[in-house]
Each structure stands twice: as structure tokens, then as C-alpha cells.
């Protein structure tokens, strides 16, 4: 048996339906706009580089020898392991081969294989930069001359970071023996931040230690 509709029940006004739908649409648009205004969060592991240029010197994994990076800026200031900040240049780490690439935890020695030093240039300073590598100390021996140590092949890269990463130099060089110093690259920074004048003309930076 069907129930008869209550005579006092009001009829639904289509105008209210339209207002309700418009309200839903407004709320939806508001939420979308709010999400669009929020900045995107960085992906896990993304670390913005606080630098204009990154200079990276590396040598073979697990190599025991100590290779040093020396960089001279246009003002004549030099960054190296005993002067890790000079002008707008910073030596982020002095990698001493096997001497500082291990840690003992709960009696167990943990060793990292990477051999790398990084110098960041944290501003645009026009002029010439000189980047040298120095074979500071040898931890292995050479049959003909035990004090000289084995040759070490080093790799240098210079990356311009802003507005996008751009490799401006990448090269290799062999340091034949302990005490060797080599100019791996010289480059000039222009006022607009671009890089030119790339060459490998030798320039001695290493002080008498």
C-alpha cells in the first residue's frame, strides 16, 4: 500500500537546488586556488645549492693518497686546506685519503671509498680563477723511489649552478709523484656570470710548507 504524500510537506524549490550547486562549485574552486598558491615542496633528497659555481676534484675510490685543491680568485686570495675560506670561496672538505675517510662504531671500522674535495664559489666576482691540484702526501710506495709514491689520476669539474647546472670544464691529469702541483684549469667569470677564457696555462699556488 502506497503512502500518500503529506499535504503539508513543502515542495522543493529548484532555485535552492541551483544555489546549493553554485555553493559547491565555489568551494571547489576555492580549494583548487588555495592548492595552486601553496609552494611545491621539494622532493626527498633535493638540496638547493647555495653557490654560483662548484669546483670538484676527485681521484680513484679507496686511493690512500692525499690530494689537495688550491683555488685562487681574481683578488689574489687562495683557498686551501689551511685557509678554507677566502673571499666568497669555501673549501667544504679537506679529503686526506685514507687518513680521514673512516670511523669506528661499536668496535667496527667503517670506511668510505670516495675521494673528493669540493670548493664552492658563493657569488659572481668577475675575473680569473686558477684551480690547482697538489699531491700532498703518499700512502703507497713506488719501487724506484719509495718516498715518491704511486702516480694518481685526478679529475676536475667546474659547474656553473645558476640559473641551471652547466658544466663549463671537465678534465683529467696525472700527478706523477708526491709534491707534484698542476694547474688543472684557469677560467674567467664575466660580469653577467658567464664563463670564458678557459685554459691550462701553469701557475704555481702552493706555498712552501
Q: Specify if 204 maps to a domain.
A: no
pLDDT value at residue 93 = 83
CATH number at residue 94: 2.60.60
pLDDT, average across residues 120-134: 96
Tens-digit pLDDT profile for residues 144-176: 676 778 899 999 999 999 888 999 999 999 999
- Domain membership of residue 158 (yes or no) is yes
| pLDDT confidence tier of residue 96, bands split at 50, 70 and 90 | confident
- 18 domain residue, yes or no: no
Give tens-digit pLDDT for 179-209.
Answer: 999 999 999 999 999 999 999 999 999 975 4
**Comparison of pLDDT for 43 and 49, the residue scoring more:** 49
Distance CA 206, CA 209 (A): 8
Q: Does some domain include residue 115? A: yes
Provide the pLDDT for residue 44.
46
Q: Judge whether residue 57 has pLDDT over 90.
A: yes
For the chain, where are the alpha helices, taking DSSP H only?
Answer: 14-37
Q: What domain range is 177 assigned to?
A: 53-199
Domain count for the chain, please give it. Answer: 1
User: What phi and psi, each to the nearest 5 degrees, are found at residue 30?
Assistant: -65, -45
**Is position 74 within any domain?**
yes
pLDDT of residue 171: 97
Kindly report, residue by residue over 2-43, the tens digit of the pLDDT.
444 444 445 545 555 555 556 565 655 555 555 555 444 444
Task: Write down the pLDDT at residue 39.
Answer: 45
How is residue 142 annotated by DSSP? Answer: B
Q: What is the pLDDT of residue 148?
A: 75
Could you tell me the pLDDT band of residue 87, with boundaries at 50, 70 and 90?
A: very high
Most confident of 8-12, 46-50, 64-68, 146-150: 64-68
Residue 34 included in any domain = no
Quick check: is 12 in a domain? no
Backbone φ and ψ for 37, nearest 5 degrees, come out as -80, -20
Among 69, 56, 73, 90, which residue's Cα sits nearest to residue 206?
A: 69
Amino acid at each position: 500500500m502506497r503512502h500518500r504524500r503529506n499535504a503539508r510537506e513543502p515542495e522543493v524549490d529548484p532555485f535552492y537546488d541551483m544555489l546549493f550547486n553554485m555553493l559547491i562549485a565555489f568551494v571547489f574552486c576555492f580549494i583548487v586556488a588555495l592548492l595552486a598558491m601553496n609552494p611545491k615542496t621539494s622532493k626527498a633528497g633535493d638540496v638547493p645549492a647555495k653557490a654560483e659555481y662548484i669546483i670538484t676534484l676527485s681521484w680513484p675510490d679507496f686511493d690512500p693518497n692525499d690530494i689537495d685543491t688550491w683555488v685562487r680568485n681574481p683578488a689574489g686570495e687562495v683557498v686551501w686546506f689551511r685557509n678554507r675560506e677566502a673571499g666568497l670561496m669555501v673549501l667544504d672538505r679537506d679529503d686526506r685519503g685514507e687518513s680521514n675517510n673512516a670511523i669506528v662504531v661499536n668496535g667496527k671500522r667503517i670506511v668510505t671509498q670516495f675521494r673528493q674535495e669540493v670548493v664552492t664559489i658563493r657569488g659572481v666576482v668577475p675575473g680569473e680563477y686558477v684551480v690547482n691540484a697538489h699531491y700532498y702526501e703518499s700512502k703507497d710506495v713506488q719501487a724506484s723511489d719509495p718516498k715518491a709514491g704511486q702516480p694518481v689520476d685526478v679529475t676536475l669539474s667546474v659547474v656553473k649552478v645558476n640559473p641551471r647546472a652547466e658544466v663549463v670544464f671537465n678534465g683529467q691529469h696525472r700527478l706523477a709523484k708526491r709534491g707534484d702541483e698542476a694547474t688543472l684549469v684557469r677560467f674567467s667569470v664575466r660580469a653577467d656570470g658567464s664563463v670564458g677564457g678557459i685554459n691550462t696555462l701553469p701557475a704555481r699556488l702552493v706555498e712552501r710548507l
